[in-house]
Structure 1
Amino acid sequence: MRKTGSFALSTGSSTQERERAMPDDGNGRRVRILLVEDELLIGMDLAMILEEWGHTVEGPHRTPEQAVEAARSFGPDLAILDVNLGRGTTSAPVARHLDEVGVPYVFLTGYSSGSRAEPRFECENGILRKPVDTAELRAKLSEMVARLDQA
């Protein structure tokens, strides 16, 4: 079976596309971001957006083991973690490692707010719901980077 797909590529010609590509993380500061997302297309899309904003992205990593190893070698400034990594696996081990080394993170989830199926995850930076709104993601990154700068 052959699978095909198409993606719209930005030429960067419109004002909106140029604004999307500008880093907007509080100080125009570019950061190193660990991305953990088991759904490959979502992960690739998020990585592309973050890189367009000028950030360096490691990932998407699809398993906790890959993500923890990447965190050790990459040395991220912050991380974006999908809560549910499929097959009964969560990003809890990654969050624990990041807590140990002092790297802030935000969770992503496809669960609706208050869903009984949603694992109970909490962190200082909260949870973003999928599909991720880019304005909300930018605002969250700005907030996280501002805290990094205060530390």
Structure 2
Amino acid sequence: MSTSAKLRVLIAEDEVLVSMFLADLVEDAGFEVVGVARTAPDAVALAQQHRPDIALMDANLKGGASGIAAAEAMARDQDIAIIFISGDSGLADDPAVAALKPVAVVEKPCMPDDLTAVLQRAARLRNAD
């Protein structure tokens, strides 16, 4: 896809198999995966290092701080499109999530085509800037 060919995606997901699935899906959609983080501090560090265009964030990362806190830190430091992916069906109603104005909140499990469509929407938003 031409609109996403140069866009860089950071994945923050603590479940190894899920992160592998997400990385494959992101690459198959024509995006570049710049890093996969398992914890919130790692996600923030990778975002500072690689300056991704899009962050695909699990809201409930292991290791202390949440994916929401990591996304807040990233958004303070850079212009980044946030996509939350979580098994928490009420996540979209969380005021901290709403304040970040994510591109989408996707509930796990999700269909690959649905997540690809969300990534493509994020790409269109980034390219419109």
Preserved contact between residue 40 and residue 60 of structure 1 (Cα < 8 Å): no
Please state how far the C-alpha of 1:28 moved relative to its aligned partner.
Answer: 5.2
Q: Specify which structure has the higher proportion of helix.
A: 2
Structure number with bigger Rg = 1
TM-score by length of structure 1 reads 0.72
- Where does residue 107 of structure 1 map in the other structure? 84
Q: Is 1:145 aligned with 2:123?
A: yes
Q: Specify which structure has the higher proportion of strand.
A: 2
Q: Is 1:37 aligned with 2:13?
A: yes
Q: Is 1:75 aligned with 2:51?
A: yes
TM-score by length of structure 2 reads 0.83
Please state how far the C-alpha of 1:102 moved relative to its aligned partner.
Answer: 1.2
Please state how far the C-alpha of 1:69 moved relative to its aligned partner.
Answer: 0.7
Q: Is 1:48 aligned with 2:28?
A: no
What residue ranges of structure 1 are gaps of 5+ in the alignment? 1-22
C-alpha distance in 1, partners of 2:34/2:123?
A: 17
Cα gap change, 1:109/1:34 in structure 2, threshold over 3 Å: closer, same or farther?
same
Please state how far the C-alpha of 1:27 moved relative to its aligned partner.
Answer: 3.0
1:50-106 deviation line (CA, Å, top 9, x unaligned): 122232113321111111110011110111000001366411232112212111111
**Per the alignment, in what secondary structure is the counterpart of residue 131 of structure 1?**
coil
1:19-74 deviation line (CA, Å, top 9, x unaligned): xxxx4xx7353421000001111001110121222321133211111111100111
What residue ranges of structure 2 are gaps of 5+ in the alignment? none
C-alpha distance in 2, partners of 1:133/1:30?
A: 24
Give identity over the alignment, percent: 28
Cα gap change, 1:34/1:87 in structure 2, threshold over 3 Å: closer, same or farther?
closer
- Where does residue 128 of structure 1 map in the other structure? 106
Which residue type is aligned with residue 54 of structure 1?
A: G
More displaced 10-residue stretch of structure 1: 34-43 or 92-101: 92-101
Preserved contact between residue 79 and residue 105 of structure 1 (Cα < 8 Å): yes
C-alpha distance in 2, partners of 1:128/1:88?
A: 22
Cα gap change, 1:28/1:93 in structure 2, threshold over 3 Å: closer, same or farther?
closer
Cα gap change, 1:74/1:124 in structure 2, threshold over 3 Å: closer, same or farther?
same
